[in-house]
Amino acid sequence: MERVVEEPDEEIRGHVPAVEDEILPDHRCYIQFPFSILFSTLLYCAEVASALYIFDIYRKNNDVFWMSFTIGFTIVGAVLDQLCLMFFHKDWNRYKYLLLVGHILLLGPVVRCLQNSIHYHRVLRRLDQVKKISQISIRRRRMIIEREIVHTLHGAFLQCKAYYCMSVIQAFLSSIPQLTLQLYITLTIREWPVERAWLMAFSLVSITYGAIHCNILAMQIKYDNNFKLHTVQFICIMFWRCLEITSRVVTLVLFIASLKLRSLPFLLVTFSISLLAPWVEFWINRSHFPTKTNINAKPMGRELMLIVITLLHASIDFFCWSGVKLKLSSEELVDKTHKGSNKTFHYSIRLVENVMMILVFKFTDGKSLLNCCDSLIATQVIITYLLAIGFMLLFYQYLQPGWSGSSLPDQTEEINLNQSNVASTKETSQ
């Protein structure tokens, strides 16, 4: 996956004289246009616009029930996106009123994307001007270029982090309930208008994009940001997540449509297990909240933020594998042990749940819902989920970052360490 901004070397960040003359013609290698921010903003606008259009159609048809849920999921996701961007950015001294108005109008992602694009082009223009000024000494020119690059990199990394978090929140607290609702409406009314199809397509893209960010977060934690996701790896993760989420949503919709309100106890129990599991483990181990954490807030605000993070993690875990295990007693809020048993346990449980829900659908009102062969639909949904598991196994078996031949990343590090120890032993013996 293409990085928005490449991280500068430690020498460049730590010492001003370390910037070489060659950085002048190659400064564009250090600063790249934030395409991920632009894509997240366009996806946000497309999903909100299509949801508002569907809302207007339901309003004209007097479908108050569907209209309320459609606009409710849209507003909840938009408000949470604004809060996420406001939490990450501490730039209220400059552009205070413009940013505040943008967030109030639920256009915070658009305003910040435009702001980031303007800063990008301004920095490039400034660097080109500094290159052409011959009166400034080389040392002064190096200091100005380094200051501009470091400042831009810091802002770009902060922007990317905020938009990554916004994409995950938008995907699993707004898009996936929206997709489930619209698919249920389609199955109930048995109509497939183009407007609803567009909304479902944008929601599916948003969910897949957010799930990919979950994988990237897990790999960043595992490899300490020292990895690069290539095209083949990105495509494999995309197929894995898209198939997994699609099969899970279709299974839930068929199950809910078959049992109606009788399906709520099963769904509530399943979701509550994912929601309360981190807190139960926290209380059983008699742990304490970490004194130093990445959440910079007061104790009351920190606990509220932990509840929101737990809700987000439960929503991700209910529909797909989150990639990390939440650990409330850790400063990083995630478990860094990377046990493969967690992934195996999750997919085993979800496969059993999907099979149970499909069997309920098949032996209740399957034919009356679809007017076609219910056995064929049930088989296709299960096969789709098995294909998702297959792509997952393919990624972790052959495409996982850090591989060297057939060795695991940990094994490769051990081999390199042993080779270095052998070399040092030979030098000391000589």
pLDDT the model gives residue 190? 78
What is the average per-residue pLDDT within 5-25? 40
| pLDDT higher at 239 or 126 | 239
- pLDDT tens readout for residues 55-112: 999 999 898 999 999 999 999 999 999 988 887 766 555 567 778 888 889 888 998 8
What is the average per-residue pLDDT within 222-245? 86
Do residues 190 and 250 share a domain?
no
Do residues 126 and 242 share a domain?
no
Do residues 333 and 260 share a domain?
yes
Do residues 245 and 353 share a domain?
yes
Do residues 170 and 197 share a domain?
yes
What is the average per-residue pLDDT within 210-234? 82
pLDDT the model gives residue 84? 87
* pTM assigned to the model: 0.81
Single residue among 146, 175, 209 that ends a domain in this structure: 209
What is the average per-residue pLDDT within 215-229? 76
What is the average per-residue pLDDT within 263-272? 92
381: confidence class by pLDDT, cuts 50, 70, 90? very high
| CA within 13 Å, CB half, 62 | 0
Do residues 138 and 280 share a domain?
no
Total domains present in the chain: 2
| pLDDT higher at 17 or 228 | 228
Do residues 368 and 277 share a domain?
yes
Residue 244 belongs to what domain range?
228-400
pLDDT the model gives residue 386? 95
pLDDT the model gives residue 290? 63
430: confidence class by pLDDT, cuts 50, 70, 90? very low
Do residues 119 and 262 share a domain?
no
| pLDDT higher at 79 or 407 | 79
Do residues 354 and 267 share a domain?
yes
Single residue among 153, 176, 209 that ends a domain in this structure: 209
In a domain, 14, yes or no: no
Of 106-120, 184-198, 400-414, the poorest mean pLDDT is in 400-414
In a domain, 425, yes or no: no
pLDDT the model gives residue 225? 67
pLDDT at 27 over 70: no
Residues 146/16, Cβ–Cβ less than 8 Å? yes
Q: Name 247's Cβ contacts closer than 8 Å, sequence gap at least 6.
A: 354, 381, 382, 384, 385, 388
What is the average per-residue pLDDT within 263-271? 92
Single residue among 144, 178, 209 that ends a domain in this structure: 209
pLDDT the model gives residue 2? 44
In a domain, 76, yes or no: yes
pLDDT the model gives residue 427? 47
In a domain, 414, yes or no: no
Do residues 109 and 239 share a domain?
no
Do residues 44 and 135 share a domain?
yes
What is the average per-residue pLDDT within 319-343? 77
In a domain, 105, yes or no: yes
pLDDT the model gives residue 91? 57
In a domain, 325, yes or no: yes
- pLDDT tens readout for residues 235-257: 999 999 999 999 999 999 999 98
In a domain, 214, yes or no: no
pLDDT the model gives residue 402? 59
Do residues 177 and 243 share a domain?
no
371: confidence class by pLDDT, cuts 50, 70, 90? low
pLDDT the model gives residue 198? 93
pLDDT the model gives residue 130? 62
**Which among 100, 161, 95, 127 has a CA at the least distance from the CA of 23?**
127
- pLDDT tens readout for residues 157-183: 788 888 888 999 999 999 999 999 999
pLDDT at 406 over 70: no
Q: Which of 143-157, 218-232, 352-366 has the highest mean pLDDT?
A: 352-366
Other beta carbons within 10 Å of 38: 15
In a domain, 422, yes or no: no
Average pLDDT, the chain: 78
